[in-house]
Amino acid sequence: DFQNSARRERWETLISVKQLRRQPDVRHVEPNYRLHTALEPNDSAYDLQWHYPLIGLPAAWDVTIGDPGIVVAVIDTGILSDHPDLAGQLVAGYDFVRDPAADGDGIDPDPEDPGNRANPGNSRFHGTHVAGTVAARGNNRIGVSGVAWGARVMPLRALDDGGGSLSGEGFSQMNQALYRELRERGTIVVASAGNEATRAPAYPAAYDGVISVAAVDAQREIASYSNRGTSIDISAPGGDGSTDFNGDGYPDGILSTGGSADDGGVEFAYTFLNGTSM
């Protein structure tokens, strides 16, 4: 029973192939497969995103670019919400940084990243960079493309530019129970493995139920800074700014959305960063 003619034609083709293969005067038979062009975004700096072929892009985009119903919470330093490559890619987030000195107002529903308030020139806008890798708008002729630009990002500010208490702690039984509960409720938790070049488990990445991600360089070798060992679940490009293995004239860091800051304010930009976060 076929619900449409295309399926019937496919079935009839396969039957014909099998019948022809039985003929003694036929050397070889195979279907005449229909080919399709592979999706590549037209973003102006896409050619500098050398790391995407290492994770199966652009081939995976022929299957999906993500879905707006999928929300990725980026728990980091917050977001530059007006960055042009993140327009329309965000859902409401939250700021969990208690210290009012970090952004002037303490805990509130505003996850905007103020950068390094004490020394604006040292601002990294780490959360914006990670969010861009997740879902920077693709096919908009500017900047870069995110891995799943059809999905949406929820920026959750848990760190300021100087850091915070999000990772690096030892094992906590309460935290382990929390991550298991999240997994059981259908939330996939992913964490960077850490940049200390050690085999010792680093948390929260090493918790059971958390996907721990190490970093490789442009030659698919473990990055010199990346943690490693039995607690690692998977590796992905994290970059190495000290090399230009592919000869494109830029360091082999990971290019994504970012910003630059001085005493006059913040300018939106695209920056290369390295690390297991990337």
103-111 long-range contacts, Cβ below 8 Å, gap at least 24?
A: 103/78, 103/160, 111/78, 111/79, 111/81, 111/155, 111/156, 111/157
From the CA atom positions of the chain, what is the Rg in Å?
23
Mark whether 240 is an active-site residue. no
- Choosing from 43, 51, 76, 252, the catalytic residue is 76
Mark whether 160 is an active-site residue. no
Strand ranges (E), the chain: 71-76, 94-95, 152-157, 189-192, 210-216, 234-237, 254-262, 265-273
Mark whether 99 is an active-site residue. no
Q: Are 119 and 160 a contacting pair, CB within 8 Å?
A: no
Q: Retrieve residue 57's tokens.
A: 């892009």
Other Cβ atoms less than 10 A from the Cβ of 251: the count is 17
- Choosing from 126, 192, 226, 235, the catalytic residue is 126
**Residue 252 burial class via C-beta count within 10 angstroms: exposed 0-12, middle 13-18, buried 19 and up:** buried
Which residues lie below 8 Å from residue 247, measured CB to CB, with a gap of 6+? none
Which among 183, 125, 144 is positioned nearest to 42, based on CA atoms? 144
Q: Retrieve residue 86's tokens.
A: 């993140």
Q: Are 136 and 89 a contacting pair, CB within 8 Å?
A: yes
- Choosing from 123, 145, 226, 277, the catalytic residue is 277
Give the C-alpha separation, 9 to 82, whole Å: 50
Active site residues: 76, 126, 277
